[in-house]
Amino acid sequence: MTQPHIVIIGGGAGGLELATRLGNKLGRKGKARITLIDRNHTHIWKPLLHEVATGTLDVEIDQLSYRAHAAAHGFDFQLGSLTGIKREQQQVILAPVLGDDGEEVLASRALQYDYLVLAIGSVSNHFNTAGVAQHCIFLDSPAQANRFHRHLLDAYLKLNSPGHPKDTLNIAIVGAGATGVELAAELYHAAAELNLYGFDDLRKDRLNISLIEAGPRILPALPERIANSALKELQKLGVKVRTSTKVTAANAAGLQLGDEHLEAELMVWAAGIKAPDFLASLDGLATNRLNQLLVNPKLQTTNDSRIYAIGDCAGFPLPDGKWVPPRAQSAHQMASLVARNILAEFSGKPLQDFKYNDHGSLISLSRFGTVGSLMGNLVGGAMMIEGRIARLAYISLYRMHQVALHGWIKMLVISLVARINRIVRPRLKLH
């Protein structure tokens, strides 16, 4: 008898945890064939991308090879990018894989599935603002974060060169959600570290960072007390925070804020997300206005029970009329439930309903502090935390992702290696 084939598209915060769990439970025992497909060869946890962008985290060290991980956990990995599905035939369609020089390495393929899980995440939403796609950098993928890092180093080189006409490096970040706020603080940290490596003219006052937010306050998704605490910290660092300010266009020299032009050599767009556009026409699957695939309480897409969707690309309505927020903790919780439901399908047990548990939000202001809230029965509602406890809670989010992938022992070994690397390697990526 042929084994059922479970295909998971997207090896991010949700998809990789799911593939690992199903590989361990079903793949290793020969009860099912599990194939993970991702457009990249390696995985890096997305909430770390702002650290990749500033160079404070070296992606070469922290990334995980899908192929090696798959071999150790009982699933297959295929490199590929989803472009469509044929629900009648139960097939996914993958784009051709191109080499560095644009030559075709693998032709377009169709792959048969018995169960399909879509976990392809989200992309930045620039709301068709003129010039943004051409002139702003997005932190949607490791490649984009690396691109920002290269531009940043080039800008520092120019600033540090004799006779450079400008006194300051102007960086504009659009969107004061978690990504924008964390990036702003991390940039000050990176500049301070660069002073140790020959950029000794890079004083804090030569960094001019503007954080622009259309809404009335920063961190709109978080309680006001936390936002105020983060705001004070950003202002102490020197970040120019501009709320109630709308970006109307971007060009090579900066951002247009209505009638005002804000000069910037580097511009990052971090103002909102949406699921990739092609999901809105994915063989009739229903979506919301952010292109997220509508799912039922079992996390199956509303018009096809063989197709599950998890993480940022899934639209799950909450009782208060909002949607489950696009966060790593949501992707993790959804991956856990879909793993349980697929295992239940295999053993003929009833499927369970998804219940989103908001464990709170944490914002890292790099080495300058961490603020956030913890939620839950343990603390009796929402509790604001700051300082060391908040830092520990923030780090534990990544550690829990590593535990889900590797187990406790390997996670501890990886943490130890990271500590050793901090002694033997430069404190930030310098190339």
Binding residues for ligand FAD, rule: CB under 6 A, are: 9-15, 37-40, 46-47, 49-50, 81-82, 119-121, 139, 178-179, 311-313, 326-329, 331
Instruction: Please calculate the CA angle 183-10-410 and round it to the nearest 5 degrees.
Output: 75
Among candidate residues 365, 428, 368, the one with its CA nearest the CA of residue 182: 365
Nearer to ligand FAD, 267 or 328 (CB): 328
Nearer to ligand FAD, 199 or 354 (CB): 354
- Please tell me whether residue 339 adopts helix, strand or coil conformation: helix
Nearer to ligand FAD, 31 or 223 (CB): 223
Nearer to ligand FAD, 85 or 202 (CB): 85
Nearer to ligand FAD, 247 or 293 (CB): 293
Nearer to ligand FAD, 219 or 237 (CB): 219
Please, is 100 exposed, middle or buried when counting C-beta atoms within 10 Å of its C-beta (0-12, 13-18, 19+)?
A: exposed
Going from the C-alpha of 302 to that of each of 82, 276, 363, the distances in angstroms are 20, 18, 34
**Residues near 294 by beta carbon (within 8 Å), at least 6 away in sequence:** 285, 286, 287, 288, 301, 302, 315
> Angle 328-346/15-22 helices, nearest 10 degrees?
30
CB of 301 to ligand FAD, least distance (A): 15
CB of 71 to ligand FAD, least distance (A): 18
Strand partners, 293: 287, 314
Residue pair 403/411 in contact by the 8 Å Cβ criterion: yes
Going from the C-alpha of 72 to that of each of 65, 239, 334, 339, the distances in angstroms are 11, 45, 23, 18
CB of 142 to ligand FAD, least distance (A): 8
Nearer to ligand FAD, 122 or 256 (CB): 122
Going from the C-alpha of 362 to that of each of 183, 377, 414, the distances in angstroms are 14, 18, 23
Distance from C-alpha of 36 to C-alpha of 20, rounded to nearest angstrom? 9
Calculate the dihedral angle through the C-alpha atoms of 210, 213, 217, 220, rounding to the nearest 10 degrees.
Answer: -120
Number of helices followed by number of strands (H, E) in the chain: 11, 28
Residue pair 8/23 in contact by the 8 Å Cβ criterion: no
CB of 104 to ligand FAD, least distance (A): 17
CB of 134 to ligand FAD, least distance (A): 20
Residue 327 has which token pair? 């966060």
Nearer to ligand FAD, 156 or 394 (CB): 394
Going from the C-alpha of 392 to that of each of 208, 366, 380, the distances in angstroms are 30, 13, 20
CB of 254 to ligand FAD, least distance (A): 22
Nearer to ligand FAD, 37 or 159 (CB): 37
Q: Which residue is nearest to ligand FAD (CB)?
A: 12
Nearer to ligand FAD, 120 or 212 (CB): 120
Nearer to ligand FAD, 94 or 257 (CB): 94
Distance from C-alpha of 206 to C-alpha of 196, rounded to nearest angstrom? 16
CB of 307 to ligand FAD, least distance (A): 15
- Bridging pattern class, strands 293-294 and 314-315: parallel
Residue pair 171/209 in contact by the 8 Å Cβ criterion: yes
CB of 91 to ligand FAD, least distance (A): 15
For residue 289, the Cα-to-chain-centroid distance in whole angstroms is: 20
**Residues near 355 by beta carbon (within 8 Å), at least 6 away in sequence:** none
CB of 279 to ligand FAD, least distance (A): 9
